[in-house]
Amino acid sequence: MKRLLTAFQFLTIIPLPKKIDISERDIIESVPYFVVVGIFQGFVAIGVFSISRELFNHDISSFLSLLTLILINGGFHMDGLADTFDALSIKPKGDELEDRLRRLSAMKDSYTGAIGAIALISIFTLKFFVLKEILMENLFALPIITGLSRWAITVTMKIGKEAKKEGLGSLFMGNIKTRHIIFSTTIFLCFFTIFLFFEWNKKTFLIMLPLLFFISLVIVIFWNYLCNRKFGGQTGDTLGAQIELTEAIMLLSVIPLLKV
């Protein structure tokens, strides 16, 4: 239970009943439960949508649902997205090591540049339109995607390396084991089985599952390659950016399936 609460305390701004003392080992061992937090966040967004659509139209309700997804984690993932894309926009000068250090320095800068702002606006706009479609077609698809996006960063933590010796990236990289991946996958599949029991269109969901796993793994491999090349590894910002990108791409990918 402590590790589950640790996952919630680490990934959300939801106040817990009591403050718990957390060590670095607790945070590492809480990683398999990230998928539970993601699924929970998806259900909270569904709850906000279900309540608000009794008062507002579909567009406003979808907007409030998306805003909930962003605010429930304190906007940290969107902040990581902006910082990462600002860093990626740094023009290389020919020295690979120096270029990486300049990108990492830009990532630490609290100022959001033009490219970071464009990334934020683009992802927010894309997620709004695709989320609007998802909430119209099938509510259960949202917690599946928010859960799987957290599962994906668990895989990244396993195969990736740290870009620097301090920060969140250094805490996770090299400390996530195969057993963490197996446990996280088992948790996700248990929840998916429960969703399937209540889902009337079981065939679509059974097709959607391997598709989403495939998409998330492709993103993990590509993102890890890009971060290794540009930054020398992963940071807390790049992990947050990966969550946002994975959610947006998976939301977009399942719309054709749900419309069948």
- The pLDDT tens digits of the residues spanning 20-41 come to 677 778 888 889 999 999 999 9
Question: Which of the four pLDDT bands, split at 50, 70 and 90, describes residue 260?
Answer: low
The answer to which of 70-84, 91-105, 194-208 has the lowest mean pLDDT is 194-208
Task: Look at residue 64 and tell me whether its pLDDT is greater than 70.
Answer: yes
Between 51 and 171, residue with greater pLDDT = 51
Q: Rounded distance, CA 206 to CA 209, Å?
A: 6
Which pLDDT value is given to residue 97? 81
State the amino acid at position 98 in one-letter form.
E
Residue 169 has pLDDT above 80, yes or no: no
Q: 0.85 exceeded by the pTM?
A: yes
- CA separation (Å) from 142 to 46, 47, 58, 123, 178? 8, 11, 16, 16, 27
Overall average pLDDT of the 119-139 stretch: 91
